[in-house]
Chain A
Amino acid sequence: MEALTGEVRAINRALRALPDGASALVADPRGRHNLAVGLDADVRITLDGPAGYYTGGLGKRADLTVNGPVGWGVGENLMSGRIHVKGDASQSAAATAHGGLVIVDGDASLRAGISLKGGTLAVGGDVGAYCGFMAQAGTVLIGGDAGDGLGDSLYEAVIYVSGRIAGLGTDARVEDLTEDDVRKVRDLAKTCGFDHVDPENVTRVASARTLYHFSTQHHAAY
């Protein structure tokens, strides 16, 4: 394993030069932004400490572990691969992620999974307000409690919550849990090591789809 230190651009250049199968460790990231963005190889990267904004964003295939908390937008626009945060995440975790898996062992702040486009976000702890805002496709699993405005203006993404929900957002509703849901949550919780999640006792939140079309009844309001 190669151990890297230095400026963000030099570190990112070195990470992107790694061949498939390689591993690297970034020592002492000190909360710097944009680390390990744009990876496109079957590599295993460890950031050994707190990282800043957009950690691992835009990545494909790579397996990234952060031994500490991360700032805004971890895994933003992730395409595939996996990011494992062994700490808390600030706002907008996995925003617009098209694919891949973002695991946050701790809590995630506001707007986790905003505009999710097919990726998977799993948070072991609590999430702040507006989780899943306008999420179009994909899955969010919350191992703890959810803040206010959960799933506001959801499209086709589905949110599973283990704990309490402070409040649902506009057009989000609680739906019955199907056997498929239970299977999906069991597999995901196992992958993430979330032993505290009981797949048969999560709450499924999805779109009521009342915002999908204009209603002639509300013509005056438009």
Chain B
Amino acid sequence: MCGIVGLHLKDPALEPQLGALLSGMLAQVRERGPDSAGVGVYGPGGLAVRKGVGDPVALAEEFGLAGMRGHQAVGHTRMATESAITVEGSHPFSPRPGLCLVHNGSFANHATVRRALEAEGVVFDTDNDSEVAARFVAHRLDRGDDLDKALRLVCDVFDGFYTLLVTTDDEFAVVRDAVACKPAILAETPAWVAMVSEYRALVGLPGFAAARVFEPGPEEVCLWKR
């Protein structure tokens, strides 16, 4: 399981409502990840990441999510499978300034990729499989790849199940594994782009009735840039 929500605003008029909108979305993926939760909010002061262990709705309140403003935000609710339920193992993973990665799924070859990255000098904080994907993307960006290229390389290098939402200060990208068995629903209007694991999480967004709703295909990188 695990639940993902993300909102990328195109209309600046919605920016004061960003936290409140994401908060409503996060509550709809509560059941998909009751172990821990985290958010990444791209506000006026840059990216702020908040994580905690426990009920996602209570955590959102603790973070003061509803009062946060900004142009983009991601949220994750975790049902732990690959490593312990800790704050460190909670998503988003942000191993590089401005970068956030949230993951639904499990990687089969994360130990192999970790060893390869460690051999190149990358240092890890946890034994979590999702952190390996985050460090991999950060490493590729450090090497000069753009986000689209880095995510295509994720598809080449990683084996396993994944729906990933990856954001930078000005980008919002979604990619799924070759079998695409973890949910991912995208919706777009002239005012925003949203990505969710649960359709219900979209229903409360302003102007949703007129949104284009679709699911990204296997290994298809969907990317929006400000």
**Chain A residues with a Cβ under 8 A of chain B:** 30-32, 50, 52, 69, 71-72, 88, 90-91, 109-110, 128-129, 147-148
Q: Is the CB of A72 within 8 A of B183?
A: yes
- Nearest Cβ distance between residue A104 and chain B, in whole angstroms? 14
Q: Is the CB of B199 within 8 A of A50?
A: yes
Residues of B within 8 A of A30 (CB): 200, 203
B residues in contact with A129, CB < 8 Å: 180, 217-218
Q: 1/0 contact trace for B180-219 toward A, CB 8 Å?
A: 1001010000000000001110110000000001110110
- Give B214 Cβ to nearest chain A Cβ, in Å: 8
From B183, B199, B214, B215, residue with most partner A Cβ within 10 Å = B199
Offer 11 A-B interface pairs, CB within 8 angstroms, sorted by A.
Answer: A30-B203, A31-B203, A52-B198, A52-B199, A52-B200, A69-B199, A69-B213, A90-B185, A91-B215, A128-B215, A148-B218
Complex contact B217–A128 (CB within 8 A): yes
Q: Nearest 6 CB-CB pairs, A to B? A: A31-B199, A31-B200, A109-B215, A110-B180, A71-B199, A30-B203
Size category of the B interface is 10 to 19
- Residues of B contacting A52 in the complex (Cβ-Cβ under 8 angstroms): 198-200
- Contact status of A147 and B203, CB under 8 A, knowing A72-B183, A90-B185, A129-B180: no
Interface class of chain A by DSSP? loop
Mask, B13-50, CB within 8 Å of A = 1, is 00000000000000000000000000000000000000
Q: Are the C-beta atoms of B203 and A110 separated by less than 8 Å?
A: no
How many Å lie between the Cα of A72 and that of B182 in the bound state? 11
Q: Which listed residue, B183, B198, B199, B217, touches A147 by the CB 8 Å rule? A: B217
Shortest CB–CB separation between residue A8 and chain B, in angstroms? 12
Return the chain B residue nearest A92 by Cβ: B181
Chain A residues, Cβ within 8 Å of B214: 88
Closest residue on chain A to residue B28 by CB atoms: A31
Question: A90, B180: Cβ atoms under 8 Å?
Answer: no
Chain B residues, CB < 8 A from A31: 198-200, 202-203
Please name all residues of chain A whose beta carbon is closer than 8 Å to the beta carbon of B198 when the two chains form the complex: 31, 52
Cβ distance B38 to chain A, nearest Cβ, rounded Å: 24
CB distance from B210 to the nearest CB of A (A): 13
| Distance between Cα atoms of A214 and B66 in the complex (Å) | 60
A90–B180 alpha-carbon span in the complex (Å): 12
B115 vs chain A, min Cβ distance (A): 31
* Min CB–CB distance B185 → chain A (angstroms): 7
- Chain A residues with Cβ under 8 A from B200's Cβ? 30-32, 52
In the complex, which residues of chain B have a beta carbon less than 8 angstroms from the beta carbon of A148?
Answer: 218
Complex Cα gap A128–B183 (Å): 14
- Contacts of A110 on B, CB cut-off 8 Å? 180, 215, 217-218
- A50 and B203 within 8 A (CB): yes
Q: How far is the CB of A188 from chain B (nearest CB, A)?
A: 25
Contacts of B203 on A, CB cut-off 8 Å? Answer: 30-31, 50
Cα separation A52 to B215 with both chains bound (whole Å): 14
Cα–Cα, bound, A72→B217 (Å): 15
Known interface pairs A88-B213, A91-B215, A110-B180; 19 further A-B residue pairs with C-beta atoms within 8 A, sorted by A's residue number: A30-B200, A30-B203, A31-B199, A31-B200, A32-B200, A50-B203, A52-B198, A52-B199, A69-B213, A71-B199, A88-B214, A90-B185, A91-B180, A91-B183, A110-B217, A110-B218, A128-B215, A129-B217, A148-B218
- Alpha-carbon distance A69/B198, docked complex (angstroms): 13
Measured in the bound complex, the distance between the Cα atoms of B218 and A31 in whole Å is 24
Assembly CA distance A91 to B214 (angstroms): 11
Closest residue of chain A to B204 (Cβ to Cβ) is A30
Q: Which residue of B lies closest to A69 (CB)?
A: B213
A31 to B199, CA, bound (A): 6
Query: What residues on A are CB-neighbors of B183 within 8 Å?
Result: 72, 90-91
The answer for the CA separation of A128 and B185 in the assembled complex, in Å, is: 14
Binary interface encoding of chain B residues 56-89 relative to chain A, with 1 for a CB under 8 A from any of its CBs, else 0: 0000000000000000000000000000000000
Q: How far is the CA of A30 from the CA of B180 in the complex (A)?
A: 25
Q: How far is the CB of B48 from chain A (nearest CB, A)?
A: 30
Give the distance to chain B from A55, nearest Cβ to Cβ, in Å. Answer: 11
CB nearest neighbor in B for A72:
B183
Which residues of chain A are within 8 angstroms of B202 by Cβ–Cβ distance? 31
